[in-house]
Amino acid sequence: MTVNFSKLPFGHWKDTLHHKQLFDKLGETLGYKCLDDWYNVTVEDIITNGGRTLLQDYYNGSPSFALQNIYSQHIWMLWRFKTVPKGYRKRLETDSAEALRMFEWLGERLAIRNLDDWHRVSLTQLITNWGIFKSGNDLWELLTISYPQHHWKRSREFGKQGAHPKSAQRELLHAIQQLFPTQSKFIACMG
């Protein structure tokens, strides 16, 4: 069953409550169970379900902008969207609090224990999981904004593909620690 946004009467889009009702129905159609599931939505998902006019006329074609407005009570992590909003990379360069929030969240997922661990994260790992990064230089720039007190070594190549053969081992170690939390002291000795 699809939500057919286009069969609604003219003027229906003017009320944000109606937008929410439509997105609630779309979420059901897409099988979303919680607001975090919306990080997976694409423009195509919305358009396929007849939401082109709503998305274009009210939200500048941006699913993340629509979701921030429709579900404004939720604290959105824009870096998690499949398509990062236009201009968000620039925002991170000027909003150190937002950049820091992103790195703290990423650090948890990547098992970053201290700031120097960022030197061992692979570019492949970052690009695969978070579209905000396109190069190791992106990582370096955003880290220096987020943690200006740390003495980052520019000579180290951040995120260079193949430069960090142990990054896959770190991912595996983190996964094992998640599976066997009671054995973490023993497992930590392996790393």
How much is the pLDDT for 82?
A: 82
87 to 56, 83, 139: CA distances (angstroms): 17, 12, 17
Whether pLDDT at 39 is above 90:
yes
Query: For the chain, what's the residue count?
Result: 191
**How far apart, in whole angstroms, are the C-alpha atoms of residue 136 and residue 140?**
6
* Cα–Cα distance for residue pair 158/122, rounded to 1 Å: 8
pLDDT at position 177 is 61
Lowest-pLDDT range of 36-40, 84-88, 179-183: 179-183
pLDDT level of residue 154 (50, 70, 90 thresholds): low
Position 68 confidence tier, pLDDT thresholds 50, 70, 90: very high
Identify the pLDDT of residue 23.
93
pTM: 0.71
CA–CA distances in Å: residue 45 to residues 55, 105, 153, 160: 11, 27, 43, 34
pLDDT computed for residue 64 by the predictor: 94
What gap in Å lies between CA 68 and CA 16, rounded to an integer? 12
Q: How many CB atoms lie within 10 A of CB 58?
A: 16
Residue 68 amino acid letter: Q
b vs e for 113-132, b when ≥16 Cβ sit within 10 Å of the residue's Cβ?
Answer: eebeebbbbbbebbbeebbb
Top mean pLDDT of 114-118, 158-162, 175-179 is at 114-118
* 122 three-state secondary structure: strand
Q: Distance from first CA to last CA of the chain, Å, rounded? A: 49
What pLDDT score does 164 carry? 47
Q: Which two tokens stand for residue 113?
A: 């224990």
